[in-house]
Amino acid sequence: MSDEKLYIVLMGLPARGKSTLAGRLRDAFLKDGIPTRIFNNGKLRRTYLPLQETASSEFYSPENSVAMALRERFARINMERAKAYLRNSGLVAILDANNARRKRRAIIEKQLDDHPILYIECINDDEYILNLIIQEKVKLPEFSHLKDKAVKEFLKRIDYYKMIYVPLKVERNYLRIDSLQNMIIEEKHSDAIPFYDRLRDYLVTDEVKNLFLIRHTETEDNVENRIGGDSKITAKGKMQATALGAFFKNKKISYIFTSAKIRTIDTARAISAMQDDCRIISLKEFDEINAGICERMTYEEIERKLPQVFKKRGADKYHYVYPEGESYETMKHRITQGIKKSFFLNQQAKNIMIVGHQAVNRMILSLFLYRREDDVPYIYVPQDRFYHIVSSHYKKLFELKRYD
């Protein structure tokens, strides 16, 4: 058995981020000069069978032996193609399919016996995220005839796969990953796996292609210098938001992630209004720091009425927890979760946009741009500019840009 070439076999229920991961791995290998190709069973099925037939959940029923035979045939075609690819110039072949049954995996192991196989099982049970992904999936042309039954059909398809699903265990080499967190849950390898270290590294790295990090535009509370709250944007704020929309008009933004606060949603609406097909997704994870008993006060009021709070926060702003509220430090976890969710949902899109708040954006910036904790609460986050961030193995870019 030669050990310089590798089969990566993806595994997991539908809508768990397998194809996104396949694309990420292929791009990373290719950038490192390692010829890699994806063999996707679904793509093959869509080429050979009428789209409408395979969108129906019944095509995935374990009882449907005709469809099952067809799916096995497509799987075998891809195994042959992957094998031929590695026999020639390819170094890594990625087989992208659900591969939920142990029986299917045994066939793979029998057919692909010339190089090591590394399985990667994608796991994600976050209902909210799953729902959003399914809503996106059913927008594909193959589901159009199902109209409002499409989501139900897709959920039924998942249930059929759950019936036959056997997690990885007896396989010789595998990684089980939480595909939302980009985190390895379990790993086992019995054979020498080529490119293993770099593969692990690709798996756990959050690649940021183009992150546009925007702070909501001017609000009524901003004008009065009040912190927190849930006020609307002002007339000036609307003009700023419209200017943002015009600025991003020619960039494709598929999703805008906001907090659950009116001011970020209002800002995002003006931007999405100038896009073709853009969805606003509000995540509570991106809500502004909770100032507890100080919510809607001005800094002057806090200094006057709650001098201890003012003094203590001034002495250690990063760690200071507002009574009944949060600190920068305690916000970090939820904001990291928000980032994970938005990156996962944004899938392979080139651009990602977040409309956040002053403290939230500071924290997001600090996740990509190293800053001492003490400095994080003082990062400059103006309302007339935005940050553009690119962060990958090969490129790091942080720029603060004007939009008007």
> Which is nearer to ligand F6P, 43 or 296 (by Cβ)?
296
> Which is nearer to ligand F6P, 118 or 359 (by Cβ)?
359
CA angle 301, 306, 311 (to 5 degrees): 100
Residue with tokens 């183009």: 210
Interacting residue with ligand F6P among 228, 237, 245, 338 (CB under 6 A): 228
Q: Taking CB under 6 A as the rule, does residue 326 contact ligand F6P?
A: no
Q: Taking CB under 6 A as the rule, does residue 263 contact ligand F6P?
A: no
Q: What are phi and psi of 55, to 5 degrees?
A: -80, -25
* Site track 158-197 with ligand F6P (rule: CB under 6 A), x = hit: ----------------------------------------
Min. distance of Cβ 283 from ligand F6P in angstroms?
17
Q: Taking CB under 6 A as the rule, does residue 289 contact ligand F6P?
A: yes
> Which is nearer to ligand F6P, 85 or 286 (by Cβ)?
286
Q: Which of 79, 278, 315, 218 is nearest to 268 (CA)?
A: 278
> Which is nearer to ligand F6P, 41 or 358 (by Cβ)?
358
Count how many Cα atoms sit within 13 Å of the Cα of residue 224 in the half-sphere of its side chain: 14
Footprint of ligand F6P on residues 344-363 (CB under 6 A)? 357-359
Q: Taking CB under 6 A as the rule, does residue 288 contact ligand F6P?
A: yes
Interacting residue with ligand F6P among 92, 117, 291, 297 (CB under 6 A): 291
Q: Taking CB under 6 A as the rule, does residue 233 contact ligand F6P?
A: no
Tell whether the torsion through CA atoms of 95, 77, 348 and 339 is positive or negative: negative
Name the percent of the chain in helix, strand, coil, to the closest 5. Answer: 50, 20, 35
Distance of CA 208 to CAs 28, 80, 94, 297, 375, Å?
Answer: 13, 34, 22, 36, 23
Q: How far apart are CA 46 and CA 134, in angstroms?
A: 18
Residue ranges binding ligand F6P (CB under 6 A): 227-228, 288-289, 291, 357-359, 377
